[in-house]
Chains A and B, each alone.
Chain A
Amino acid sequence: MSTATSATGGSPRSVTADSVDAPLLQVKDLQVEFRTRDGVAKAVNGVNYSVRAGETLAILGESGSGKSVSSQAVMGILDSPPGFVTGGEILFKGRDLLKLGNEERRKIRGSQMAMVFQDALSSLNPVHTVGMQLGEMYRVHKGTSKKDAKLKAIELMEKVGIPAAKERVNQYPHQFSGGMRQRIMIAMALALEPDLIIADEPTTALDVTVQAQVMELLADLQREYNMGLILITHDLGVVADVADKIAVMYAGRIVETAPVHELYKRPAHPYTKGLLESIPRLDQKGEELYAIKGLPPNLLHIPSGCAFNPRCPMAQEICRSEIPPLHAVTELDGTPLEGRGSACHFWKEALHG
């Protein structure tokens, strides 16, 4: 299996051996920086992950961890300047997207990979009808006529469960509720049946009951079309519900990767551990919450060594001087744990201690 190595390998190893089962998207050693007046902010520092068809990868992180920036780089919608991709490869179906020209990337966007944004109200154009915006996908990419595009738009709206689609196709975004707008965003991403969908905090702005509807819709559609899904979120609950595997990001690096069940049961990085302990539970009253001390780092001045060391309860001298690579995580007796990695010098203690 290449999942383990390609998803978690500290160094970008090639996976030529099993090209049949090659991942849909493979990000290798991606580096992104923002050149600002105050200095260079290193938002993404060597990120590796992969997604295959039908799989859900969740990228978990707090604000400023680089989770959104790395996916914007994959989509090719990074604001540049100030953002620049300074290194790495983004292999999509075997082709390195970073080597393609703007026009070629534009053709891939929308038809082969699409994105669902967090804030549907500001992502939709307020002066065009919903039908027009949905139909645009077909008109631009496929040259469909206006009339047919509208029919397609109605079809899509029905697909994502918007009632009375025929009447509502001529309405404007502000006439829809938050949940319905997010459905429209999903419909738009789905229009050309892409192979990969990147959803950036798709339910954060929604109420819990609506959140559940939208997540279920996304999961159903993913199954139906066998798409790869990258779910970017800060919510440990949402991730637990839908993800197959998780990459936890901190200060522009992936600090831990694991299959979803493993991560929650036995985290191998002190940051993940702290996060899991710091959230209150619905099914228990609980005592005082564990709180990770300190604050997320400023990307202009990332601490030397392991970026988490000033907040880490396990930090020692080596953590301040040496950046930990993403170690392959094993059982105590050395049995490899598939798909698991931890960028901690003391992952053994974190996992088994």
Chain B
Amino acid sequence: MADTAPTEASTAVPVPPVTRGEPILQVRDLEKYFPLTQGIVIKKQVGAVKAVDGVSFDLHQGETLGIVGESGCGKSTLAKVLMNLEPATGGSVLYKGEDISKASGKALKAIRRNIQMVFQDPYTSLNPRMTVGDIIGEPYEIHPEVAPKGDRRKAVQDLLDVVGLNPEYINRYPHQFSGGQRQRIGIARGLALKPEIIIADEPVSALDVSVQAQVINLLEQLQNEFDLSYMFIAHDLSIVRHISDRVGVMYLGKMVEIGTDEEIYEHPTHPYTQALLSAVPVPDPSGREQRERIILSGDIPSPANPPSGCRFRTRCWKAQERCSVELPLLAVPEVFRGQATPAAHQSACHFAEDVDIVGAG
């Protein structure tokens, strides 16, 4: 990894979050509400799906921020809002001080060049009627200043080489490639404009296990080579830990806990994070009978009608009166405030408690 390797768990003091340079992306109170309307001719708004509801975080140069959460928690919507593919309904996304959510026209185009996306499904995110060369070279049509016309073919071949594909494949079509190779094409397209930030939305979940490792290694290698910042969205907690420097956990449109990978995985303080970690099947059968599991009851509530107060309280075993009235804020919990323990990281719970779930300590 690009940063300093995480030190021994037992002796670690909380790493200040600004060890890896200035934030390149600052997200503040970001909101995305999708209106729910009724009526055909006269539309009337009857409510809103709060897909992303007041999310704040920083992304630093060269770091990987992992975002985990279950389906419907808003992690993919968050990615789209960051790219301004969906307009935000509130809050701001600052890229080097400039607000993406308010930018338009030329300014937006310039910002977007620096933030690129890699999608989940390599089967549907590549146009089957375009050759690989056209797919990877298409960004140059929109941003001709990056590669002059004559150089494009060469630039595309270089990109193919960078992602580990044979440059001679430039005239092939997507169906001639396997899933892992297609994902490499998607990554090459993302790299074409030499961006600073790559937002990867479940980039490996559609791939076979033995191919996943290849793509993850490629992503890490590219990060070191080009000093990229990643936002890595995934539901697989093991992969997120492997690739991320910091991890944010989302539940029902809110960030419930955020910290370094060690803080989140070895000292989770939010009950949802604890439940999530304990539910991950561990590829090691030893002691499986003893392993303590927190099995949550029920499903995620509808984001159109989230519970009052803490949104997790309907599934939480610690929930009390206070949780239904008072919304817990994402901050270092009072019990840990000022202490030099890895548990002192931001967690949105009234009753935060440091529990070692994965037993790595």
Contacts and interface: CB of A to CB of B under 8 A. Distances in A.
Given A208-B279, A241-B281, A275-B209, A281 B286 contact: no
Nearest to A278: B213
Contacts of B305: none
B210 A280 contact: no
A204 to B, nearest CB: 10
A235 B70 CA distance: 18
Contact of A177 (B214, B281, B299): B299
A158 B235 CA distance: 30
B238 A261 contact: no
A11 B241 CA distance: 43
Given A208-B235, A285-B242, A179 B213 contact: no
Given A209-B70, A261-B285, A264-B283, A281 B208 contact: no
Contacts of B180: 295
B138 interface: no
B201 interface: no
Contacts of A275: 209-210
Interface residues on A, range: 35 or more
A288 B220 contact: yes
Contacts of A63: 208
Contacts of B297: 213
Given A208-B280, A285-B261, A280 B238 contact: yes
A100 interface: no
A209 B283 CA distance: 17
Contacts of A286: 242
B282 A289 contact: no
Interface stretch (B79-87, B128-136, B288-296, B324-332): B288-296
A276 interface: yes
A234 interface: yes
Contacts of B151: none
Interface in A230-253: 234-241, 243
B296 A241 contact: no
B279 A278 contact: no
Interface in B227-273: 235, 237-239, 241-243, 261-262, 265
A260 B285 contact: yes
A282 B277 contact: yes
B295 A213 contact: yes
A151 interface: no
Nearest to B178: A295
A264 B284 CA distance: 6
B212 A278 contact: yes
A279 B208 contact: no
A102 interface: no
Given A62-B209, A284-B360, A291-B210, A237 B281 contact: yes
A216 interface: yes
B208 A296 contact: yes
Interface string B336-350: 000000000000000
Contacts of B360: 282-284
Given A207-B235, A216-B295, A290-B213, A282 B280 contact: yes
Interface string A89-132: 00000000000000000000000000000000000000000000
Contacts of B178: 295
Contacts of B212: 278-279
A127 to B, nearest CB: 24
Nearest to B277: A282
B148 interface: no
A4 to B, nearest CB: 19
A285 B241 contact: yes
B282 A237 contact: yes
Contact of A279 (B213, B214, B220): B213
Interface string B167-208: 000000000001011000000000000000000000000001
A15 interface: no
A321 B213 CA distance: 29
B211 interface: yes
Contacts of B241: 280-282, 285
Nearest to B73: A207
Interface of B: 6, 70-71, 178, 180-181, 208-214, 216-217, 220, 235, 237-239, 241-243, 261-262, 265, 275-286, 288, 293, 295-297, 299-300, 358-360
16 contacts: A62-B210, A63-B208, A208-B276, A212-B293, A260-B285, A276-B283, A279-B209, A279-B212, A279-B283, A280-B216, A283-B265, A283-B358, A288-B220, A291-B213, A291-B214, A295-B181
What are the 4 tightest A-B residue pairs by CB atom distance, in nearest-first order? Answer: A237-B281, A280-B242, A283-B360, A278-B213
